Amino acid sequence: MAPITTVLFDLGHTLWHLPDMPPPRAIRGETMRRLEALITGWGFEMSGERLMIGRDIRLAVEEETHRAFHGDCVDPGYPELCRRIAKEHDMELTPEQGDELWEAWNLGGIFLNRRLFPDVLASLTALRDRGFRLASVTNRGYSGPDFWEEVRQLGLEELFEAVVVSCDVGYMKPHPRIYQVAIERLGVEAAECLMVGDNLRADVEGPKTLGMMAVWRRPPAAEPSEATADEVETEGPIKPDYAIDQIAELLALPPLQPRA
């Protein structure tokens, strides 16, 4: 068996979470404020059934996320989905406006009070100091400026050599293509990689079919998640090589010990 040289990480509920998400009323209010400012800025009236566009986007996002994750794993293309919903509300939008509508609806982690788990930065720094290369492979609906700013603010940018995002690749985990993009970008073999994530299908079954090792980070119980998050699964046909409850436990795993 090839020694592990590279550790890949999921993001949501693996490295970061939403322990203090604002209440639903505050989320709805902020979403409505952003949507109204954007739509009226385009010259459309925000009235009648159009007042329900936020709800309609949410329902479509939930439906398409479930379909893709349990189907062909083709990325749903959320900005295009927003254009489709806008058309149902008598608004013909350009692709650029579809991006803007998605960003307005998708509040993002800064507003939702996203935080790293307390042991993440120290643990990842220790792995890097042991000589392991670090990267992320994540399912995200959009990798716009707000996402990259959040990665930077949380201190992950300087630790990761690469961040591979499903919407940029066109396929969601567990599709093999997103993992292949990661190993191609890093210039490593699948057998050298260990994937860490909270979803048994996306983060264990996916990488193991390519010959990677996989560590299941058991998801924290009863925590809120975003509409585009992978559905929590606690059992699957392919078992992880290891299971942990805290990221710091990675430091004790045999494949991740300091190399002589």
pLDDT tens per residue, range 31-74: 999 999 999 999 999 999 999 999 999 999 999 999 998 899 99
Same domain, 93 and 214: no
Check whether residue 82 and residue 192 sit in a common domain: no
Are both 90 and 143 inside the same structural domain? no
Instruction: Tell me what pLDDT residue 233 has.
Output: 64
CB-neighbour burial class of residue 222 (10 A; exposed 0-12, middle 13-18, buried 19+): exposed
For residue 120, the enclosing domain spans 6-19+114-256
pLDDT reported for residue 260 = 67
Of 144, 183, 187, give the one whose Cα is nearest residue 167: 144
Q: Is the residue at 100 inside a domain?
A: yes
Of 55, 78, 105, which closes a domain?
A: 105
Alpha-carbon distance 75 to 204, whole Å?
Answer: 19
Residues 98 and 162 in one domain: no
d(CA 83, CA 139): 21
Rounded Cα distance between 200 and 215, Å, is 9
Q: Give the mean pLDDT per block of 10 residues along the chain (260 residues).
A: 93 92 93 97 96 96 91 92 97 96 89 93 98 95 82 93 94 95 96 96 93 94 64 72 97 92
Q: Six-digit token pair at 149? A: 């700013």
SS3 of 99, please? helix
Among the three residues 49, 72, 105, which one is the final residue of a domain in this structure? Answer: 105
Single residue among 51, 82, 105 that ends a domain in this structure: 105
Query: What's the structural domain count of the chain?
Result: 2
In this structure, the answer to whether residues 162 and 61 fall within a common structural domain is: no
Asked whether residue 64 is assigned to any structural domain, the reply reads: yes
For residue 1, tell me if it sits in a domain. no
Tokens of 221: 């119980």
In a shared domain, residues 29 and 12: no
Beta strand ranges found along the chain (DSSP E)? 6-9, 16-17, 115-116, 133-138, 162-165, 193-197, 213-217, 242-244
Instruction: Kindly state whether residues 62 and 143 are assigned to the same domain.
Output: no
Same domain, 62 and 147: no
**Could you tell me which residues come within 8 angstroms of residue 75 by beta carbon, excluding any fewer than 6 positions away?**
68, 166, 167, 169, 170, 171, 172
